[in-house]
Amino acid sequence: MSLFNASALFIMLIMYSIITASTEGVNTIIPNSDPSPDGAVLGPVVSELAVSQSSFGPHVSLNFLSAFTEDLEGSDYCVELLRIFGQRYVSNVNCLVSYARPVQVCENCLVHYNSLTEIYTNISSDQMGPGNVSCRDSLLRSDRLMLIYLLYDNLEEIWTTSGCDHCVNKGLNQLTNDTFYFMAVLNQTRSCFERYQQQGNHSELCMECKATYKGLNELYGRMEKNCTLCIDIEDAMNMTRRQWSKNFNCSLPREETVPVIAVSSFMLFLPIIFYLSSFLHSEQKKRKLIHPKRAKSSTSLMNIQDKFS
């Protein structure tokens, strides 16, 4: 019996040593790996990386990247274009997020979008780079996803939906004169709001700022008819109108109310005018029909009198 217990203890010691050795092999930490922010070692992730390295070798990922780089035609030139595109894309996205509220993407992200368009044009064009190599096929059409095209197309759709082309000149380097003028009138109107808002007298604000606010509304209406509005102008005007009507409780009488009242009054009196004219016209017809009968009877009476005379 004691011999059996000793044999079992020996087998357990062997199994424990095997398990310990396998655990140490799996939990081996990759050199130069960083701990997690709270100081704990990233166990599962590091373990998986360690197993992959022990199974396939430490240079598999590097060999894959080098093979991909060599597969690109004119690798140095194309990889450089891809790197520049990535930097400018990130800058453009950061700008869009920064000026999302209030919306000022057309005004402030103009330079970023212009630079991104330039690098994408270089990538997608047939223009040859160093060594007479074009990167269009290798960067845009080499896979089913076409990631570079999708990324640029998304930002282009945002730019088009925002109507930024209406506020920017064709060269994509500055705003149009109409946009500059609207911004100047808008700043003048908001300065008037701030000046009288500090005094706390909204009734005086409504009186003193009515002229500038009315001019801003008229300018916005002309730009809307001329299709020169972008999302920056639309959002700025909506915020200004909300301040005027909701925050300051001001109102701006419309000039078209007088014609509307005149037309409405005319429509109300139109049935009366119609029946009155019909009545007068029927009376005139009656008179015209009776008058010839009287004249005929008087003529016949004169003829009878002449006969007897």
pLDDT in tens, 190-234: 999 999 888 777 889 999 999 999 999 999 999 999 999 999 999
Is residue 29 situated within a structural domain? Answer: no
Rounded to an integer, the average pLDDT of 49-54 is 38
Same domain for 111 and 181 = no
**Least-confidence region, from 63-77, 170-184, 207-221, 257-271:** 63-77
Same domain for 146 and 168 = yes
Same domain for 186 and 162 = no
Q: Is the pLDDT of residue 39 over 50?
A: no
Residue 75: count of CB within 10 angstroms of its CB = 16
Is residue 264 situated within a structural domain? Answer: no
Same domain for 154 and 214 = no
Query: Whole-model pTM?
Result: 0.61
Among candidate residues 230, 227, 226, the one with its CA nearest the CA of residue 180: 230
Q: 88 CB contacts (<8 Å, ≥6 apart)?
A: 112, 115, 116, 119
> Residue 143: which domain range?
74-173
Alpha helices (H) in the chain, listed in sequence order? 2-26, 43-56, 60-71, 75-98, 105-108, 110-124, 136-140, 147-161, 177-197, 202-208, 210-225, 231-242, 257-308
150, 173, 196 — which closes off a domain? Answer: 173
